[in-house]
Amino acid sequence: MSPDRPATRLAPYARLPRVYRDRHVLHSTVDAYGRVHWLLTERPPDPLRENPYDALVVTVEEGGRPYETQLSAVRARFARFDALPDGGFVLANARSRRDEEHVQVFDVLGRTSHTFRVGDAIEDLLVDEAGDIWVGYFDEGVFGDDELSRPGLRRWSSAGEPLWAYKPGPDHDEICDCYALNVGTRAVWACPYTDFPLLEIRDNHVVRARANPVRGAHAFAVHADRVVFLGPYGEPDRIVDCRLTEKTVEQVAHGRLLRPDGGDLGSHHRIVCRGPRLYVRNESSSDWAVLDISVI
């Protein structure tokens, strides 16, 4: 058993300006450059109707002033979105029919430039620094009737071109559910169900699949030969500090992760994994906090 460590506090990162606090937060994310984006509507979209609606994206750059982008004719009822390097946005409905182009790409002026589909049951949608879209799928997509979702993890261009799809290999099995996805600067990492190997992906190849004793983590950060997992089974606020070897993940220590004010993290939060950083937003709040393992 790895030793306990004192609890770790998240650091405050970004706050939605007060003037927008009466809006509904449909989704929020942190992009590849550390900018925070909130997708806001006047009221939640009707999950039973497919009427397009207008939305507002509020962006806060690290150390900068907020700015707005108005999006028109948004169709996603269960939104996943991220920013593109050119100032536009990609927005997808997490659930879709096989004949539905459920991904919208918006230009810098908030107009839909094109649509395409990437498959049903989107767990995570993260854009890398090159502007490519990494999509991890949960089990209803992997085992459903949409062949686009079956690999469990895919990479797409912002134009909707399929660039890469996960395939099992000698030391890594099929993905049943892409539990956790980290899109960093030089590599993409995934930790899928059922055995939870730590997959290291570079240049469209799984270059390493490390055996991992941490089961069920829903987020993780990676820096050099270190990985920190958050939320193994039944412990949503537990962090497990590990060391990477050539073939394995070895536990070093574990402890609790707390909010910046020292309060309990809780069990319902949104997390974005970007290299050494875990960005965390409690679902009851619009503010983001960060754990950066490159500095602790």
What 25-28 contacts at long range (C-beta under 8 Å, 24+ apart), as own/partner pairs, is 25/286, 26/55, 26/79, 27/79, 27/80, 27/81, 28/270, 28/281, 28/286, 28/288
Q: Please indicate, yes or no, if residue 217 is contained in any of the structural domains.
A: yes
Q: Is 142 helix (H, G, I), strand (E, B) or coil?
A: helix
Alpha-carbon torsion angle 80, 82, 84, 88, nearest 10: 70
Q: Please indicate, yes or no, if residue 218 is contained in any of the structural domains.
A: yes
Q: What is the pLDDT of residues 168-183, one digit of tens each?
A: 999 999 999 999 999 9
Confidence at residue 284, expressed as pLDDT on a 0 to 100 scale: 85
Do the beta carbons of residue 184 and residue 274 sit within 8 Å?
yes
Percent of the chain with pLDDT strictly greater than 70: 99
Q: Please indicate, yes or no, if residue 57 is contained in any of the structural domains.
A: yes
Of the CA atoms within 13 Å of residue 189, those in its CB half-sphere come to: 29
Q: What is the pLDDT of residues 17-32, one digit of tens each?
A: 999 999 999 999 999 9
Percent of the chain with pLDDT strictly greater than 90: 92
Q: Please indicate, yes or no, if residue 125 is contained in any of the structural domains.
A: yes
Q: Please indicate, yes or no, if residue 3 is contained in any of the structural domains.
A: no
Q: Which domain holds residue 234?
A: 8-292
Residue 66 has pLDDT above 60, yes or no: yes
Which residues are CB-contacts of 135 (< 8 A; sequence separation ≥ 6)? 92, 118, 119, 122, 124, 125, 153, 154, 155, 156
Confidence at residue 2, expressed as pLDDT on a 0 to 100 scale: 67
Interatomic CA distance for residues 15 and 221, integer angstroms: 22
CATH number of the domain within which 79 lies: 2.120.10.30
Residue 1 has pLDDT above 80, yes or no: no
- Does the predicted model carry a pTM greater than 0.85? yes
Q: Please indicate, yes or no, if residue 138 is contained in any of the structural domains.
A: yes
Q: Give the pair of three-digit tokens for residue 181.
A: 């996805």
Q: What is the pLDDT of residues 239-257, one digit of tens each?
A: 999 999 999 999 999 999 9
Structural domains counted in the chain: 1
Confidence at residue 150, expressed as pLDDT on a 0 to 100 scale: 98
Neighbour count for residue 158 (Cβ, 10 Å): 20
Is pLDDT larger for residue 296 or for residue 213?
213
